[in-house]
Amino acid sequence: MSKTIATENAPAAIGPYVQGVDLGSMVITSGQIPVDPKTGAVAEDVSAQARQSLENVKAIVEAAGLKVGDIVKTTVFVKDLNDFATVNATYEAFFTEHNATFPARSCVEVARLPKDVKIEIEAIAVRRERALIDSGRRAVARRR
């Protein structure tokens, strides 16, 4: 059973998709571009854009009742791989501020992003107690 995640603390979808999906033991966000959900503004600086994208991911994860520390995987899309070091510094600071373990991550350079932003970030978070319950059920079912 999946539930759609919708929050005013992240930008509304700009196409036929949802902000995120809650699968019970796992939450998957759509890619978040650095649009401020309150003003619609996009900063020019790639560090500020990375921070806003991460804040948008956080808002969706929190709307599902999880925390930054529950994020286990991110995919980062950057328009210019020369921004990699700057993005890394912002990314590291964000997860450190939230006392979170760094998740697994992929980073890919792309030709263009929506609204001509410099970065987009998507994430997968795990509801750990639910994941443990589900894995226990699978183990019991296999024994039968």
Q: Which residues pair with 29 in a beta bridge?
A: 20
Q: Which of 107, 113, 131, 134 is catalytic?
A: 107
115 pLDDT higher than 70? yes
Name the pTM for this structure.
0.90
Instruction: Assess whether 107 carries a catalytic annotation.
Output: yes
CATH architecture under which domain 3-143 falls? 2-Layer Sandwich (3.30)
Domain locations along the chain: 3-143
pLDDT digits (tens, 9 = 90+) for 23-36: 999 999 999 999 99
- 20-22 and 26-29: which strand pairing? antiparallel
CA–CA distance, 140 with 52 (Å, rounded to integer) = 43
Is residue 13 helix, strand or coil? coil
